[in-house]
Structures are given as structure tokens and as C-alpha cells.
Structure 1
């Protein structure tokens, strides 16, 4: 007998084949958040428990507990709700709300005057975190190091301050390690870096540590800032949205991660203020 290698619509036992149709995900152009649902889920670096990441109204990320909780058991300052993918710091009038993970994280100090329901949730997360450690599924982070030790091999700050679009932002990693947040055709996060040899680079400069709108002023000092303000507007927008040159011109591509920028505050981020230029930039200026 010759095996029949021709493709058919049935299995060997006669059952019909049901082909798996891949359903593409699309983001509406008018959506305030371009982050896909798969990019929201993550795990806390401190305790290993699951968290959901969302953007706030001020475009800063916030980690929320993945489960909705009854409003009656949550204090008013801890209530959050979601609308169009954006987290808002109050309840929406329903009987349920979300709560920041920082309130429940067992690795953090418990806030004062917690309800019995929240304290029980903290104990449950502490037990779950201990189980993850015992089974080897989670490794606690090492103790924090000083700002002087957190520097790259090139002498650049580990968390640089970048000036673009008439504002200053604090990055969440060195400049050479900032990745594109867009989704590729293979449904994976793009591996391209923002700073490459084919793209226009900024310049390290010593600029006054002047506050932005709504921030308190500091005594006059100069700080090292990676200045991108001289680049064209589309290039600055590419850095702000954290996209590589290919995905910067692809508005239909969604994001698989939140952009790692924080609005720089001289008081809150005082440990990241450097009064000297990085070694690589300083040596280049001396040679010039």
C-alpha cells in the first residue's frame, strides 16, 4: 500500500481538522494607550508576585494589583480605576476598584492604618513570595548599590537625565541599553536600540538644574544632561515614544512595553544628578 500524502481536511481517524486562525491585534489610532494587553502583565522585582502595568494621566507607569477589590474594603486614597488603558487615581463610582501593588508588596514597609482586608492580602502575597523563593522560581534582588557604583563601562550614568521636547526625563537604564518597545511581526518585542551608529546622537552638556513647571527650585548648580533638543522634532518624538527608526514610521505597530521615561524632578531624583560630564564625553571635548 502506498501512503496517501495528499493534504486532507480530516485527521487519520476521520475527525475534521480545525485550523487555528491567528487573530491579529490592532490598536485604534485614537487610543490614548498603545500598549497591548500582553504587555501589561509582569512580575514585581521585589517580591515576584504578578502585577499589571499601566500609564497614569501624567504618563508615568504604575503597578496595580491584578485583581479588582471591593471599594468598601479599600481606603479612598488607594482606589484606582482604568479607563481606555489609563489608570486614574480615584474610584469610578462602581463597587470595585484597583489598588497599587506598592500597598500590598510584602517587600515594602506597610503603610499606616491598613484595613484588615488589605493586611490579609499582604500576608497572602508574602506566603506566595516565599513559595516562589523556595521553589527557585524567583530570586530576591541584591542589595542596592550606591550611585557611584552604578555606572557603565564607558563612564556614563546608569540612569541618565535626557533633555528633549522642552522637558527633562530620567531613563530607567543606560543610553546604550534603551530598547524599542514596539511589537514586531513575529509578535515579539523589537530588539533594536534607540542609540545606534546610524541615528543622530545627542550631546552631553552641563546645564543648570532648573526645575520644570510645578517643581521646587534648587540652589544654582550645573548637572550633566544628555541634550537632544538640537535634533529635529520627529527624532525627539522617536526618543520620547521609545521606538527604533523602523517602528517610528509605523503608526500601526503596537507596544509590548511601557516607555521607561520619568519626568525628572531635581528633588525626587537628586541621587541621579551628576555635576561632571561622563568620562567618554569629557575626553572627546578635550580632544576637540
Structure 2
């Protein structure tokens, strides 16, 4: 005979025998932010070191160093703290603070404001060098690989897209923008926003307009991936950075911050392209879609 477990919730030593039930992480549908805080870990594209994404009070994302540092070693103007999931550019009065990754990133020029953080910056630079030596990170200034036949050439690495009457700067090419939704396996969806059955936008040359109601510059034009002709729901899907499958499943949470950044021609002038991307033609395939001006 097999002995059956005792139905009593107490063990022989007086402790409770019932195990704690495992609960899955859920999101309140009425939550203002559907972002899972456990999924904010990422890697810097310039140096390969780990970072954490947070939103500021103005809903702009910021990259923070994943560890706290003693506040005495950090200038007061460089201190950050996180409160209720929101990053604030100031100290919280404690002996510890957070740092913006831009102060420590080895892939950027060293700022003169924090020379006392040079030791931490050198340790990150050493890790970056190890990643480059191991082939896990491309060295700075490395030439891009030659495009394959049928692939787009002269495509901007960070294109400017226009949707919902607003111009955004993407962090990667249009056909590489990844869905930010969480899958059933609790990982990030690997599908692209521009799926095989998705509606495509068109490249167009438009005048470069200055922000805050300033006059447009008719003599200067820029290449923009326009999605304005798509239906309203389709433009919402693009701004939420979701694939076709997860756009129809609003209960799924987000595991990353959307890569869109409001485009400012003054701050992002190095990403302005004055010519349309050219596309190769696959043998036997249809002609490439012409951009509308």
C-alpha cells in the first residue's frame, strides 16, 4: 500500500505543510503603464554593457546604470533616483544614487563633469574590449557588411517615421523594429512590426520643419517613412510597436520600452537623410515600390 499524505495543514514539528501557491505576474488592464518592470534590462548598443531602461516624468526613456553607487562619489548634478518606477534626475537624500549610462559609456566621449567616476568607466571599457575580442560586439567604426542581392541599400540605420501626424526617430531600420510584447513563455516576441502581411508605408521627401511652431525650411528636405496613409488602428499598432498577432491580444504586457523617440531636427540633425533609400530588385520579383513625394 502507498501511504497517502496527511490532509492536515500542519507538519509534525508544528510548521505549515501547505506550500505557497505560485502566482503568475499579471497586469491590471486599467493600468496607465502596461510595462513590466522586470523586463527593463538591456544592453547598450555602443559599448555592450548592461543598462536598465526607465521612464522619466515626461514619459521620455532614459538608460541608467544597473547598480547604485555611493552618492558621495557622484556630483549632485549627475545623481538619479527611481521612485515608483519613474526615474528622476536628482538625489533622494540617501547615501546611494543611480547614474545615467551616458556618463559611463565607453563608446562616448568622457564628460568633464565627473572625473571621479573614471574608475567605473574604465571597468566598463574593459568589458567592452572583451566583448569586441570575443566577437560579441562590433568594434567602433567597423565597415558595414555589403548588402545581399535583393536587399535594401542606402537604408538609414535610424530612420525617421511619420505616424499619427508626429515624426519619430527609430532606433533601428524599419524592417528590423521588433515587437515589445511578452509571449506565453515569458520572453520578448521575436516578430517584427513590419510583418509579411502588414501594411507598408512609403518613403517620401518632405520639408524639414523646426519644432515648436517655427517656420518650415522649404529648401531643405529629408527622407521620411510615412505611415500617414494607413488606417488609424494600424498607426496605433506601429506606435505601440507590436506585431500583428500581439496587436490583437491587448492582454499581453510589454517587456521593453518602445524605441520611438520624438524627432527634433536640431538634436537629431545627424540622422537627417536628403535622399530616398534605393532598393534592389529580386530576380523575377515585382518592381520595388516607388516613394511618393
* TM-score computed with the length of structure 2 as normaliser: 0.76
Q: How far apart in 1 are the matches of 2:66 and 2:121?
A: 14
Deviation, 1:30, is: 4.8
- 1:228 paired residue number: 227
- 2:65 paired residue number: 65
Listed as ranges, the gaps of 5+ residues in structure 2 are: 6-16, 281-286
Residue 83 (structure 1) aligned with residue 83 (structure 2):
yes
Pair 202,284 (structure 1): closer, same or farther in 2 beyond 3 Å: closer
- 2:266 paired residue number: 267
Where 2:118 maps in the other structure, the secondary structure is: helix
Q: How far apart in 2 are the matches of 1:106 and 1:75?
A: 19
Residue 284 (structure 1) aligned with residue 282 (structure 2):
no
Displaced runs of 4 or more, over 6 A: 17-20, 149-152, 214-217
Listed as ranges, the gaps of 5+ residues in structure 1 are: 10-16
Deviation, 1:180, is: 0.9
Q: Which deviates more, 57-66 or 200-209?
A: 57-66
Q: Which deviates more, 36-45 or 241-250?
A: 36-45
Residues 65-115 of structure 1 show CA distances to partners (whole Å, capped at 9, x for unaligned) of: 112233333223212222332322223444432111221234433211425
* TM-score computed with the length of structure 1 as normaliser: 0.77
Residues 194-236 of structure 1 show CA distances to partners (whole Å, capped at 9, x for unaligned) of: 1234232222222111123388965632222111122232221
- 2:138 paired residue number: 141
- Contact 1:55/1:86 (CA < 8 Å) preserved in 2? yes
Alignment of 1:234-249 (within 5 A): 234-249=233-248
- 1:181 paired residue number: 180
- 1:102 paired residue number: 102
RMSD of aligned C-alpha atoms?
Answer: 3.6
Q: How far apart in 2 are the matches of 1:131 and 1:197?
A: 38
Deviation, 1:154, is: 2.1
Q: How far apart in 1 are the matches of 2:97 and 2:77?
A: 11
